[in-house]
Amino acid sequence: MSEIGTALLGLGDKLAAHVLLSAAAIALGIAVALPLAIWASRSPAIARATLGFASLVQTIPALALLALFFPILLSLRAVFGEGLPTLGFLPALLALSLYALLPILRNAVTAQANLDPGILEAADGVGMSFWQRLRLVEAPLAAPYVMAGIRTAAVWTIGAATLSTTIGQPSLGDPIFAGLQTQNWVLVLAGCIASAGLALVADALLGTIEKGLATRRRRLSLAGLVAVLLGIVAALAVQFGNRAEDRIVIGAKGFSEQYILARLIGQQLEAAGYTVDYRNGLGSAVAHEAVANGAIDVLVDYTGTIWTNQMERRDTPDRDTMLAEIEEWETRTTGTHVLGRLGFENAYGLAMPRARAEAGGFAAIGDLAARGQGMTIGGDPEFFERPEWIAVRDAYGLRFAAQRNFSPTFMYNALQSGEADVIGAYTSDGRIAADDLVFLDDPEGAFPNYDAIILLSPETGADPDIVAALQPLVGAIDVEAMRAANLSVDRDNDKLSFTEAARELAARIGL
Amino acid sequence: MTSPAQPLVEFREVRKSYETTEAVAGVSLTIAPGEFVALVGASGSGKSTLLKTVNRLVDPNGGTVLFEGERVESLPLAALRRRIGYVFQSIGLFPHMTVGENIAIGPRLVGERLPEGRIARLLELVELDPAMAVRLPDELSGGQRQRVGVARALANDPHLLLMDEPFGALDPITRDALGERVRALHADLGLTTVMVTHDMAEALLLADRVLVMDGGSIVADENPQALLHGAGGTIAQDLVAVPRAQADRLAERAR
């Protein structure tokens, strides 16, 4: 339990970010929902349209809604200019506000529809203007119901805000996603406890305001309101009290190697006197776009990923040709600067437990095509959508009985427990050796090369000091060092934190 | 009753139709200052609709209504309504305001504070204890609530009091007492009162002029004595026949 306590104490800044994001989203939700509700109360058509829209939004999974704002904001740059952020606070705010809309709107509309018509006739009869009627009669009578809607919205928003980690907004989702990645359940629990605790506190405080409104005890409502505002002010103090200017933002996709390398890069930059910040758990496409448009400054990416996904190439040339073409393409189209290779490759490959492979006589991918039709293949959530997989599948004519998605960590567990027979694994993964897995040969060369490379955003790439600070990493990490570092955070016992693993890796490669 | 030169309310060819029905079919009539007029008719005869064209809770499709010589549609809506007291069946006290706040709402809308003494006086006018000013409407009986409704309607010192089935939801004893009270207030405060009711007995007992409506038109315009002596035509006499027959049967039973 004390471990969880320690983990919780380390979440202060995540909690503050979470509070501010949720509060801003609910505030925006209220600001949009209430005028809409007033409008809707005057027109049944508007009521149907707005409630229909809000219900439709609600059916979109929160994770997808958050992700959708990235392309939406990207296309809006045509209108608002290149300064419009596409990751982080803004898309998280917009998506969560949309989510908060429904409960507030529905309660407000229902409250107005259920107002006693006699009371409204009396309001008109005594000569109230539109605004007097709204302020003196409709608003006070609807307030407790509206407040109940705000309460529901607050609980939903605080829960869904944990997902904003995936689009680069710090939140209490950070420890949850990082912990899921490494099966560090203490971290997952700490994140869940903090987020659930926050939701309960918010619910209780808003409930106090609601009760005050319903029983016409102004002081009770005020006390609740003051407590809510104090919480937001405290979060603002934490968030902006220690904010340094000019911090370098390092991105990391959602797997261990990325987290460790991001910390390694961060430590190099901090040693050179920079302040750094991390955006963890980004999706592949989002991460590349983010470094290209400067939402993040530094990213470790893989040649094969850019080659097939961003450049949409299907041929597989040798690694030097590939890197040269990527550098040329990035310069020409995105302005992203390729600093160089880190030194190891993290390819996709199809892996099986050694015993199983030997018993079944599986040595090359082609053997799966011949004898693997009854098997189940596992992959990370991106794997089966990636062009590399489609190329490999088509090159060998692969067909399986089932394909299943797992988070990268659970994928290896699935292989151990027999829930998957073969997985799309990563060659630099520490668990390859630890779990005694073998990669099946790829004689067709259908999987491209996946050298790890450092990408710098156009602005960062033009900064000679940052380039100089990161230069020592180029060519410094061989695959053995990377596997050892990956294993140190992924193993079941004696796990290191990402920061510790990065320090150990730095020591091993002599930085 | 004779009409003086300047009527307080004048209807000119007022028409109001809804999608399928014609509620008011071209009504013209004048109401003199000081009159207590009852508008009587069956449900759907158009009497409530006609009443509400005066304070523009209903806007007519045709014709016009003049209040104190001015066309009502030319007056600012809120200002017009503040000059007219309005009492109706569902009362419509604001449940989140005390009795005192309810009574003071009209003046408050124009930024005036109704003195406590005046609130107490209005409560006394409707025969309620001034201490009730601090209560919430939920704590009152139905009759008490409608008394507050009348006090609220009088707070702006209106010249005209419109009442739409004001006693319809009250028990007979309360109904009778409040009716008498309103009749007395009408005289004491020099009001002009127009009351919609479906109850001919109530109209005959309280009003000094009874208008009978049927199918959107005025079919009789008589004083109670004339109606009781057979004037006003068949529809009016059918309505008068009901309370008369009841009275006769009661007299029969008492024998």
A224-254: per-residue pLDDT in tens? 999 999 999 998 888 777 655 578 999 998 8
* Cβ-defined contact of B94 to A132 (cutoff 8 Å): no
Each residue's pLDDT tens digit, B44-103: 899 999 999 999 999 999 999 999 999 999 999 888 998 999 999 889 999 999 999 999
C-alpha B16/C-alpha B6 separation (Å) is 25
Nearest Cα residue in chain B from A133: B109
Computed over every residue of chain A, the mean pLDDT equals 89
**A28 and A95 co-located in one domain:** yes
pLDDT(B5) > 70? no
Read off the amino acid at residue A200: L
For chain A, the domain total comes to: 3
Asked if residue A445 is part of any domain, the answer here is no
Tell me, yes or no, whether A320 and A389 share the same domain.
no
Q: How far is residue A378's CA from residue A132's CA, in Å, rounded to a whole number?
A: 63
pLDDT confidence band for A2 (50 / 70 / 90) = confident
- Structural domain ending residue among the three candidates A385, A410, A439: A439
What residues of chain B lie within 8 A of the CB of A217, using their CB? none
**A449 assigned to some structural domain:** no
SS3 of residue B129 by DSSP: coil
* Minimum CA–CA partner of A215 in chain B: B96
Identity of the residue in B82, B93, B149 whose CB atom sits nearest the CB atom of A127: B82
Question: Do A430 and A472 belong together in one domain?
Answer: no
Whole-number Å distance between alpha carbons of A463 and A269: 13
Q: What is the mean pLDDT of residues A433-452?
A: 88
Of A119, A128, A141, the CB nearest to B78: A128
pLDDT category of residue A146 using cuts at 50, 70 and 90: very high
**Which of B109, B138, B146, B194 to substitute to test the interface with A, most A CBs within 10 Å?**
B109
- Residue B118's pLDDT is what? 94
Out of A378, A406, A439, a domain closes at A439
CA angle B48, B49, B50 (to 5 degrees): 90
Asked whether the predicted pLDDT for residue A72 surpasses 60, the reply is yes
Q: Do B91 and A122 lie within an 8 Å CB cutoff?
A: yes
Phi-psi region of A287 (alpha: psi -120 to 50; beta: other; left: phi over 0): alpha
Which residues on chain A are in Cβ contact (under 8 Å) with B105?
126, 136
In a domain, A79, yes or no: yes
Residue A458: alpha-carbon gap to chain centroid: 23
Which of B49, B96, B135 to mutate: most A Cβ within 10 Å?
A: B96
B54, B96 contact by CB (below 8 A) = no
* DSSP assignments along B24-69, one per residue: EEEEEEEE-TT-EEEEEE-TTSSHHHHHHTTTTSS--SEEEEEETT
**Residue among A67, A145, A134 nearest A108 (CA):** A145
**Contact check, Cβ <8 Å, A126/B105:** yes
- Out of B82, B92, B109, name the one closest to residue A118 (CB): B92
| More confident: B185 or B6 | B185
Domain match, A500 and A422 both:
no
B105 in contact with A, Cβ within 8 Å: yes
CA distances from B70 to A207, B6, B66, B109 (A): 52, 11, 5, 23
Residues in CB range of A188: below 8 A, 6 or more apart: A175, A176, A179, A180
- pLDDT at residue B227, rounded to an integer: 94
Q: What does the angle CA B142 – CA B147 – CA B148 come to, to the nearest 5 degrees?
A: 95
Residue A450 domain-assigned (yes or no): no
pLDDT tens track for A268-324: 999 998 989 888 878 777 788 888 888 889 999 999 989 988 898 888 888 899 999
Residue B93 contacts A where some CB pair is shorter than 8 Å: yes
The percent of residues in chain A predicted with pLDDT above 70, rounded, is 99
Rounded Cα distance between A349 and A448, Å, is: 10
Tokens read off for A330 = 């990035």
Domain architecture of chain B: domains with CATH: 1-35+46-80+193-250 (3.40.50.300)
Q: How far apart are CA B94 and CA A121, in angstroms?
A: 11
Same domain for A167 and A228: yes
Task: Find residue B85's DSSP bridge partners.
Answer: B161
Q: Does A237 lie in the same domain as A303?
A: no
Contacts of A120 in chain B (CB under 8 A): 92
d(CA B75, CA B161): 18
Contact A123 B86 (CB under 8 A): no
* Paired sense of beta strands B9-17 and B62-67, if any: antiparallel
Query: In a mutagenesis test of the B interface, which of A119, A126, A137 is the best target, namely the one with the most B β-carbons within 10 Å?
Result: A126
Residue A7 or residue B127, greater confidence? B127
Residue type at A11 in one-letter notation: L
Chain B residues in contact with A117 by the CB 8 A cut-off are 90
Q: In what order do the strands lie in the sheet with B62-67?
A: B22-31, B9-17, B62-67, B70-71
Which residues in chain A are closer than 8 Å to B53, comparing Cβ atoms?
A: none
All residues of chain A having their beta carbon less than 8 Å from the beta carbon of residue B96 are 140-141, 216
CB pair distance less than 8 Å for A125 and B81: yes
Q: A336 and A311: one domain?
A: yes
Q: To the nearest whole angstrom, how far is the Cα of B111 from the nearest Cα of chain A?
A: 12
Q: In this structure, what CATH number is given to the domain that contains residue A109?
A: 1.10.3720.10
Q: Residue B162: beta bridge partners?
A: B86, B194
State which residue of chain B sits closest to A124, comparing Cα positions. B57
Are A236 and A260 in a shared domain? no
Tell me whether residue A466 is in a domain. Answer: yes
Q: Judge if A80 and A192 occupy the same domain.
A: yes
Q: What average pLDDT does range B20-49 have in this prediction? A: 93
**Do residues A148 and A292 both lie within one domain?**
no
A319: containing domain = 248-345+455-508
- The closest CB to that of A129, out of B78, B95, B152, belongs to B78
Q: Are residues A431 and A482 in the same domain?
A: no
Residues of A in contact with B77 (CB under 8 A): 127, 129
Domain boundary, last residue among A439, A466, A496: A439
Q: Do A117 and B78 count as a contact with CB atoms less than 8 A apart?
A: no
Q: How far apart are CA A23 and CA B193, in angstroms?
A: 55
Asked if A481 and A509 count as a contact pair (C-beta separation under 8 A), the reply is: yes
A373-403 pLDDT, tens digit per residue, is 889 999 988 888 888 888 889 999 999 989 8
Do A360 and A325 touch, CB atoms closer than 8 A? no
Q: How far is B222 from chain A (nearest CA, A)?
A: 29
Size of interface A-B (CB pairs under 8 A): 62
Assigned domain for A447 exists: no
For residues A307 and A301, the answer to whether their CB atoms sit within 8 Å is no
CA A220/CA B144 separation, integer angstroms: 31
Contact between A127 and B81 using a beta-carbon 8 Å cutoff:
yes
Query: B11: which strand partners?
Result: B29, B65
**In the predicted model, is pLDDT for residue B4 greater than 70?**
no
| CATH number for A429 | 3.40.190.120
Chain A residues touching residue B57 (CB < 8 angstroms): 121, 124-125
CA–CA dist A157, A169 (Å, integer): 14
B163 → chain A, closest CA residue: A125
By mean pLDDT, which of A81-85, A253-257, A354-358 is the weakest?
A: A81-85
**A211 vs chain B: nearest CA distance in angstroms?**
14
A116, A128, A216 member nearest B109 (Cβ): A128
- Beta strand pairing status for A298-302 and A348-353? unpaired
Cα Rg for chain B, rounded, in angstroms? 19
Whichever domain contains A482, its CATH number is: 3.40.190.10
Query: Domain for residue A444, yes or no?
Result: no
Interatomic CA distance for residues A219 and A212, integer angstroms: 7
CA distance A243 to A241: 6
Q: What is the pLDDT, as a whole number, of residue A407?
A: 81
Residues of chain A with Cβ-Cβ distance to B80 below 8 Å are: 127
Residue A406 pLDDT exceeds 90: no
Tell me whether residues B86 and A137 touch, CB distance under 8 A. no
Mean pLDDT of A39-67: 88
The shortest CB-CB distance from A125 to any of B55, B79, B96 is to B55
Question: B112 vs chain A: nearest CA distance in angstroms?
Answer: 14
Mean per-residue pLDDT for A4-30? Answer: 90
- Nearest C-alpha in B relative to A116: B92
User: How confident is the model over A87-122, as pLDDT tens digits?
Assistant: 788 999 999 999 899 899 999 998 988 899 999 999
Is residue A412 included in any domain, yes or no? yes
User: What is the C-alpha radius of gyration for chain A, rounded to an integer number of angstroms?
Assistant: 26
Contact: A119, B92; criterion CB under 8 Å: yes
CA distance B80 to chain A (A): 7
For residues A24 and A166, membership in a common domain is answered with yes
For residue B154, what is the enclosing H or E element? helix B142-154
Distances (CA, A) of A415 to A351, A364, A409, B81, B244: 9, 18, 11, 79, 97
Least Cα separation, residue B153 to chain A (angstroms): 7
Average the pLDDT over each of A141-145, A395-399, A443-447 and give the range with the smallest value.
A443-447
Mutation site for A-interface testing, chosen from B86, B89, B102, B196 by largest number of A Cβ within 10 Å: B86
**Is B109 within 8 Å of chain A by CB?**
yes
φ and ψ at A291, to 5 degrees? Answer: -75, -35
Find, among B164, B166, B92, the residue nearest to B126 by Cα. B166
- Tally the C-alpha atoms within 13 A of residue A60's C-alpha that lie toward its C-beta: 18
